[in-house]
A and B are shown apart, each in its own frame.
Chain A
Amino acid sequence: DGGITQSPKYLFRKEGQNVTLSCEQNLNHDAMYWYRQDPGQGLRLIYYSQIVNDFQKGDIAEGYSVSREKKESFPLTVTSAQKNPTAFYLCASSIVSWETQYFGPGTRLLVL
């Protein structure tokens, strides 16, 4: 899992602002994922991508958008439509979707 990086570590968003969280992996994994973690709760799937140039909505996609233009990169944009964005965001990747997922170090998003 050391091959997955996320930046920034902390991110502050102003009202009405879109912000983008970076996720990069050098593991040559086909599948990548974005999860949201709220205090005292498990991880909830936002978006996933099984292959470059393709991605699908997860359970809580409203207010978020992604792209997968390169195999190693899967950025997440938190749009102004997401009214409660404060959370810990985790990116993960796996060789293919049915294999073990490995997580990045996370980005903590706070609203000013």
Chain B
Amino acid sequence: GENVEQHPSTLSVQEGDSAVIKCTYSDSASNYFPWYKQELGKRPQLIIDIRSNVGEKKDQRIAVTLNKTAKHFSLHITETQPEDSAVYFCAASSPNTGFQKLVFGTGTRLLVSP
């Protein structure tokens, strides 16, 4: 089955710096890659996603890139702000007898210092 690895587990940056979180996946059939942000004690919220027919997607300060050959995808946050501090999860979805199962990485705790 699919396996998703996420790095780093923690990331500390200064306000205004960029942050990059990387994930690798094992199933070459995976075709959907969402990123979720989870604040302490709250629900995960989708921040951006990408499908396998696209190499890059941007939404204001957030971008995701996908390298299908290498089977890795990355989240890029530019001009970080203290409110970006949270745990970020990547996930990969692969078809499985008609059901698209999401497999999550173990999360990256991002701390943005003022």
B99 near A103: Cβ-Cβ < 8 Å? no
A97 at the interface (CB under 8 A from B): yes
Q: Which of A1, A40, A41, A98 contacts B45 (CB 8 A)?
A: A1
| Chain B hits for A105, CB < 8 A | 42-43
Q: Which of A43-51, A60-68, A69-77 contacts B (4 or more CB under 8 A)?
A: A43-51
Interface residue range, chain A = 20 to 34
A53 at the interface (CB under 8 A from B): no
A100 near B43: Cβ-Cβ < 8 Å? no
Interface residue range, chain B = 20 to 34
A104 and B43 contact, Cβ closer than 8 Å, known pairs A56-B99, A98-B32, A98-B93 = yes
**Bound CA–CA A101/B104 (angstroms):** 12
Q: Which of A40, A101, A104 contacts B107 (CB 8 A)?
A: A40
Chain A proximity mask over B75-114: 1 for CB below 8 Å, otherwise 0: 0000000000000010001010011111011110000000
Residue of A nearest to B42 (CB): A105
B44 near A48: Cβ-Cβ < 8 Å? no
**Bound CA–CA A43/B92 (angstroms):** 12
Q: Which of A18-51 contact B (CB under 8 A)?
A: 40-45, 48, 50
Q: What is the distance, in angstroms, from B63's C-beta to the closest C-beta of chain A?
A: 18
| Chain A hits for B93, CB < 8 A | 98
Chain A proximity mask over B10-23: 1 for CB below 8 Å, otherwise 0: 00000000000000
Q: What is the distance, in angstroms, from A33's C-beta to the closest C-beta of chain B?
A: 8
A103 and B100 contact, Cβ closer than 8 Å, known pairs A40-B106, A42-B106, A98-B93 = no
Interface residues of chain A, those whose CB is within 8 Å of chain B, are: 1, 40-45, 48, 50, 56, 58, 90, 97-98, 100-106
